[in-house]
A and B are shown apart, each in its own frame.
Chain A
């Protein structure tokens, strides 16, 4: 007999290994018994095993699993196994499981080779891109159609989303771009101070903001706040069968859901970009006034000589393009949601990531285009 084990062992006259349990076969003891029996079987010289259950008063699922796992282990090792002296109630319990659960163990699915997975990934990406292009074109068609019936357009929703994406974002956008102006002014000052060219801080900051940074930062904020919101909202609607309900009632989900969002962002983005320009320049003025001996008046005077209407308009045009892309990709991801709550989360993340990528991608194209056109 081994010390501390929850069972006793012995030999029968026929040389079988006798194991009699002293404790109930339950969740509390099953793990310990399993470990003990495993060592016992490993040390055993392949003589048949006899389990004596006369001392067992209770068996639960863990106990059943223990006996079944043991049976499988013995079969694998070619050891005979017999279970005896089972109390009738427990036998009844065990029989039920045997009747119910003669299940074959399924092999885990094989992992596909790397090339095949890469292939599948690329095909998936291409399909997604195609889907997005098709979505954009259908939004365009629906938009053209709805221009002819403006009275039916959902203006209330448009203003709701305008408030959500626009005015609700003003505080955080101000904070971000104000600090951006501060940082840019400081960075520029370090270089320009060496040449006594402090005044050009104004040129640098205002041009960079108007042409590039204000629209891009605004767009990034919109992608994070509104693109994700659109995706999550539409995704939840899809999971809740609201989209199906709309379709059955005869609404076009694109017209009903997408257009107000796109229009709201198209209105919000240029306004927010102007707001970002304002906040950024305010930040730069604060730094210049405090550490570069530049008065606000001198700063603004320099800004007006450096910057043209074209710079600002170019920035606003960029913002407009970004806004359309963000709204479209947000809605597209929402519609892509499949059943299941985790899908909403995944598509929301995808909306932000694709939105950010599209912003940078469009920015690069537009910047090259402006350069070629001499803007």
Chain B
């Protein structure tokens, strides 16, 4: 992999005036930001502030009620199903909170699933790619295991292998270190950094794990449930000492003064 992206667009991903919600309930409104190629951007926020809703919007599981998302210069909110497959599915990998592996398939079959569906790779090479991907997330030798037989950390790593199956340009991770111990969390952080460095993958990581935020972010965006939008944006070291008490409390693990 030499060039991180095939597109000439200036940004990997842009949100313009986006509002997201379920029915009449607006969760986030007027979101504006852009992600540069090859950056790792973390999206932060307390529990229940709409991080997962945000992620659903970014990957297209939830259509914005207003505004638009641009992926490599194309408005993906207006794409047809075929256009979606062509433009988004091949460029985007998603690591879901729990790994979201298909329970009835082995790890190897899970990783092979998108490759088999979206390319005409011959069997021998397909097996080789699956082995490579599993080795990449340090799960070599686990190809014949079923997801139910794995620990939480292994499931996440396997989910990562599947998300990376087709060499996406941009990877979305929903709480990649949630529910994992500090050592395994650090391992996943390292893995993400390595993939970013080596493959030039742009990453959008949703998390509220402070060590992860500090370790991997080029840029952080903090969203807040009450404000229904972005309340801070910048390099994590800069915004950690923000004068906004909501941001400061988050970074210093303090009980919110407003709620205490």
Contacts and interface: CB of A to CB of B under 8 A. Distances in A.
A194 interface: no
B121 A30 contact: yes
B2 A58 contact: yes
A58 B1 contact: yes
Interface stretch (B12-20, B43-51, B131-139, B227-235): B131-139
A59 B1 contact: yes
B2 A341 contact: no
Interface string B1-31: 1110000000000000000000000000000
Question: DSSP class of A's interface residues: helix, strand, loop or mixed?
Answer: helix
A260 to B, nearest CB: 29
Interface stretch (B32-40, B62-70, B142-150, B216-224): B142-150
Contact of A100 (B135, B143, B148): B135
B103 interface: yes
B2 A27 contact: no
Contact of A65 (B118, B125, B144, B147): B125
Contacts of A190: none
Contacts of B131: 101, 103, 105
Given A59-B1, A340-B148, A31 B129 contact: no
Contacts, number: 94
A27 B133 contact: no
Contact of A101 (B126, B140, B166): B140
A64 B132 CA distance: 9
Contacts of B148: 338-340, 342-343
A305 interface: no
Contacts of B136: 97, 100-101
A60 B1 contact: yes
B167 interface: yes
A89 interface: yes
A187 interface: no
Interface in B107-127: 115, 118-122, 124-126
B125 A97 contact: no
Contacts of A27: 115, 118-119, 121, 166-167
Contacts of B144: 106, 109
A171 to B, nearest CB: 31
Interface in A80-103: 87, 89-90, 92-93, 96-97, 100-101, 103
Taking residues whose C-beta sits less than 8 angstroms from the other chain, chain A's interface range is 35 or more
A105 B120 CA distance: 22
**Among B120, B128, B199, which residue has the most Cβ atoms of chain A within 10 A?**
B128
Contacts of B126: 65
Given A109-B144, A342-B103, A31 B2 contact: no
Contact of A103 (B103, B135, B146, B198): B135
A62 B119 contact: yes
B194 to A, nearest CB: 8
Nearest to A92: B198
Contacts of B258: none
Nearest to B3: A58
A14 B198 CA distance: 37
A35 B128 CA distance: 16
B132 A31 contact: no
A68 interface: yes
Contact of A340 (B1, B3, B147, B164): B147
A69 B130 CA distance: 12
Nearest to A343: B148
B3 A69 contact: no
Interface in A32-91: 34-35, 57-62, 64-66, 68-69, 87, 89-90
A65 B104 contact: no
A339 B115 CA distance: 27
Contacts of B198: 92-93, 96
Nearest to B148: A340
Nearest to B167: A60
A343 B167 CA distance: 32
Contacts of A64: 129, 132
Nearest to B121: A31
A90 B165 CA distance: 19
A96 B198 CA distance: 8
24 contacts: A27-B118, A27-B166, A28-B119, A30-B119, A30-B121, A31-B119, A34-B125, A57-B2, A58-B1, A58-B2, A61-B132, A61-B164, A62-B129, A64-B132, A65-B126, A65-B129, A69-B125, A93-B1, A97-B132, A101-B136, A103-B140, A103-B141, A340-B148, A342-B103
Interface of B: 1-3, 103-104, 115, 118-122, 124-126, 128-129, 131-133, 135-136, 140-141, 143-144, 146-148, 164-167, 198-199
7 closest cross-chain pairs (CB), A and B: A340-B148, A101-B135, A65-B128, A65-B129, A60-B167, A342-B103, A339-B148
